[in-house]
Amino acid sequence: MKESLSRNITDEPGAEAGLSWRRLLPTQISDLISQFAAAGALIIICIALSIASPVFLTLYNLFNIVSQTAVTAIIALGMTFVIITAGIDLSVGSVAALAGVLGVKMMVDLGLSWPLAVLGGTLVGGLAGLANGLLITRARLAPFIATLGMMSVARGLVNIITGATAVFGVPDSFRLLGQGMIDGVPIPLITLIVLAVAAHLLLSRTRLGRYTYAIGSNEEAARLAGIRVGAYLVAVYVLQGLLAGFGGMVAMSRVASGQPNFGDGLELDVIAAAVIGGCSLFGGQGTILGTLIGAFLMAVIRNGAVLLNIDTFTQSVIIGVIIWLAVIWDQFRRRRFAESTR
């Protein structure tokens, strides 16, 4: 009995093989299934587009896709954490604009070097995230409400500060962040990869990541297990703010100016990326890899639509349908797993 039991428990593919590919990927099999769905869709669409358009599979076009979606994807890394806690952050677009414009003004008005200004803009985003986190944990506002307010406050502030006009006069070197290349590889791509790997490690290999899942799966159980739920929730919203701030700086760099109207509606793209990638709005589920796939799925569809001369309105319809399908799939998956417990 004892023998068969221990064999049963370890009897899992890849369990013995030290550092197998499985160990680098998310551990939950059902997450893998949902990612395969999104990844499968991504691959099929890529194949279809490379047949339909000769331009699609060129390096230039692929880098173009990456550069265009980098900001969304960077901010979506944070949204993955937020949604896994069963929260939401509607303020990321406004916060990115506020942080980006303030970062630009640090260069233009204060004469800061661009790396310092990028750091400054990122920290502005972090402050907004801190405010969100405290509103949620201390003032006990629902995340939807807290961040809805922040969305309005941050957008208002950036327009007050700039008089609703763009800020010009950034040093040329600042363009490097959003437009530069290293050995022909766009810097936004490199940045995204570095941040995504870091976010993946944070989510799967640290206390913060584990507690993020635990809080989203069952907040009361997490609290009774001794987890300081409030502190970790604040940390998650600060992380989201930092990433929104940094994403705002990348976006400003791409246009080499401070645009107060940047990021209007960006929060919806970011949330869509996470949801398409398997994050459940009920919490407890989601992965960085999934979110990246979700972000790129949307980017590739938009890119393909441009290549095939499909207008933006139709693109919008297609994206909407994809969101529905992703969530229907997610619910189907949940039901099936729930049934198998009986």
Partner 1 sequence: MPSTSMETEQSPIIRLRKITRRFPGVTAVAEVDLDIYPGEVHVVAGENGAGKSTLMKILYQVERPDAGQIYLNGEPLSFHGPHYARALGIAMVHQEFALAPHLSVAENLFLGREPLRFGFIRRRRELAEARHLLEQVGLNLDPRRLVASLSVAEQQLVEIARAISFNARVLILDEPTATLTEQEIARLFEVIRQLTAQGVAVLYISHRLDEIFQIADRVTVMRDGRVVATLPRAELSEQKLVQLMVGRAITNLYPRPETHPGPVLLRVEGLSRRGLLHDCSFEVHAGEILGLAGLIGAGRSELARAVCGADPIDSGRILLDGQELHIRRPADAIRAGLAYVTEDRKREGLALDLGVDQNITLASLPVRLGLLLLRRERSVALHACQRLNIRTPSVRRKVRLLSGGNQQKVVVARWLETQARVIFFDEPARGIDVGAKAEMFALIGRLASEGRAIVLISSYLPELLNMCDRIAVMREGRIVGTLSRGQFSEERIIALATGASEVTIP
In the chain, at which residue ranges do the beta strands (DSSP E only) sit?
A: 181-182, 185-186
Select 14 or 156, whichever has its Cβ closest to partner 1: 14
236 and 87 in contact (C-beta within 8 Å)?
yes
**Footprint of partner 1 on 273-312 (CB under 8 A):** 284-285
Residue 232 as a binder of partner 1 (CB under 8 A): the answer is no
Q: Does 214 bind partner 1 (CB under 8 A)?
A: yes
Cβ distance to partner 1 smaller for residue 207 or 316: 207
Q: Number of C-alpha atoms within 13 angstroms, CB side, residue 249?
A: 29
CA-based torsion, 37, 212, 320, 61: positive or negative: negative
Give yes or no for residue 182 binding partner 1 (CB under 8 A): no
User: Cβ 11 to partner 1, closest distance in Å?
Assistant: 7
Q: Contact with partner 1 (CB under 8 A): which of 47, 194, 225, 308?
A: 225
- What are the phi and psi torsion angles at 258 (to 5°)? -100, 110
Among 53, 64, 68, 217, binds partner 1 (CB under 8 A): 217
CA distance 319 to 2: 52
Residue 140 sits in the site that holds partner 1 (CB under 8 A): no
Residue 5 engages partner 1 in binding (rule: CB under 8 A):
yes
| CA–CA separation, 283 and 287 (whole Å) | 12
The answer to whether 336 contacts partner 1 (rule: CB under 8 A) is no
Minimum gap (Å) between residue 83 Cβ and partner 1? 13
Q: Cα dist. 307→38, 43, 318, 323 in Å?
A: 22, 17, 15, 22
Q: Answer yes or no whether residue 113 interacts with partner 1 by CB under 8 A.
A: no
Q: Indicate whether 4 belongs to the interface with partner 1 (CB under 8 A).
A: no
Under the criterion CB under 8 A, does residue 337 sit at the interface with partner 1? yes
SS3 120: helix
Task: Give burial (CB, 10 Å; 0-12/13-18/19+) of 168.
Answer: exposed
Q: Which is nearer to partner 1, 213 or 262 (CB)?
A: 213
Quote the Cα angle for 284-290-293, to 5°: 155
Does 224 sit near partner 1 (CB under 8 A)? yes
Footprint of partner 1 (CB under 8 A)? 2, 5-6, 8-12, 15, 23, 27-30, 201, 204-207, 209-210, 213-214, 217-218, 220-228, 284-285, 337-338, 340-341
